[in-house]
Amino acid sequence: MGILLSVFLPLSLAFIMFSLGLGLTVADFARVVARPKAFFAGAVSQIVVLPVVAFLLLQLFRLPPELAVGVMILSFCPGGVTSNIITKLAGGAVALSVTLTGVVSLLSVVTVPLLVAWAANHFMGQAAPDIDVTALALAMFAITAVPVAIGVALRHFAEGLADRIEAAVSRIALVLFVVIVIGALAANWSLFITNLVLLGPLLVVLNIVLLLLGLGIAKAMGLDHADGVAIAIETGVQNSTLGITVGSLIVEAATGLPPFSLPSGVYGITMYFVALPFIYLMRRRRG
């Protein structure tokens, strides 16, 4: 398990982020300026609404402090490749989804370390681990921002090559995501079962509330259905691989998955129980 957390997990996340960057173009980032209302709605939903909702739910679902911090870590994470795929399946605006994932992922290099340090101090007090915000930010930069930038650069300067490898890279990234979640839970199965009753209801409710809020915010801002679906999914489907990685970066577990990573690991499974019905409903509504 130590090799999984210290080597395989960061490298896999870096590859997943590279696959995200490979699907981005400079025009995607320009879309922030071209369609500011849709991007603003999605960014605020992800960066502000999501953590606030998670924090409020934690006042209702009493969790042990370390698991509460883990839930907040998950809420600080942006969407990922999975959210882009789910948006496509649900008939949402894929370009908006990819742009939000890319931009917010880059911003998370700054926001996540600061917010994680705050969450640990808030929920754990003096028992909180010492979090080196600078070291965490540098680690996140190396395994998220740099691979995304490499992917974007490859798409920009070698578009033909990017087109040829994109499908294969995306499939590998999806497999790595599944392996990480299943591997992390398999190695901590007893811990997963013990905490499922605590974490499962909260994570499912968080998922449902955020998807509905995302749709509501988009409707209130006068955006169309496709944009609303993209914003809802970007708000409600987080990058659980990043959450697992961040949890493992801030504290070294002697064996198994750190408690800070456990909510993200459980979420990697439970989110599909919410996302799949949502896809079905959105496709019916579109039809």
Q: What is the pLDDT of residues 212-270, one digit of tens each?
A: 999 999 999 999 998 999 999 999 988 888 888 888 888 764 445 678 888 988 888 88
Tell me the one-letter amino acid at 152: V
pLDDT band at 188; cut points 50, 70, 90: low
- State the residue for tokens 């169309």: 224
Residues 59-64: what's their mean pLDDT? 90
- Angle formed by the axes of helices 225-236 and 94-124, nearest 10°: 30
The predicted pLDDT at position 29 comes to 72
Which has more confidence, 71 or 184?
Answer: 71
pTM of the model: 0.85
Residues 181-187: what's their mean pLDDT? 70
pLDDT band at 11; cut points 50, 70, 90: confident
Burial of 183 (C-beta count, 10 Å sphere; 0-12/13-18/19+):
middle
Which has more confidence, 173 or 72?
Answer: 72
Question: Nearest-CA neighbor of 30 among 195, 152, 144?
Answer: 152
Q: Which tokens is 182 given?
A: 């299943």
List helix spans (H) across the chain.
2-3, 9-22, 26-34, 36-44, 50-60, 65-76, 81-89, 94-124, 133-140, 146-157, 159-186, 189-220, 225-236, 240-250, 262-286
Contact between residue 133 and residue 266 where contact means Cβ atoms under 8 Å apart: no
Show Cβ contacts of residue 173 under 8 Å, excluding neighbours closer than 6 positions. 15, 16, 18, 19, 20, 81
Q: Which tokens is 119 given?
A: 């969450």
Which has more confidence, 207 or 184?
Answer: 207
Please determine, for residue 279, whether its predicted confidence score (pLDDT) is greater than 80. yes
Please determine, for residue 17, whether its predicted confidence score (pLDDT) is greater than 90. no
The predicted pLDDT at position 6 comes to 60
Distances (CA, A) of 14 to 26, 53, 286: 20, 28, 35
Establish how many alpha carbons lie within 13 A of residue 130's alpha carbon, considering only the half-sphere containing its beta carbon: 2
Neighbours of 23 (CB within 10 A): 20
The predicted pLDDT at position 184 comes to 67
- State the residue for tokens 């907040």: 72
The predicted pLDDT at position 2 comes to 52
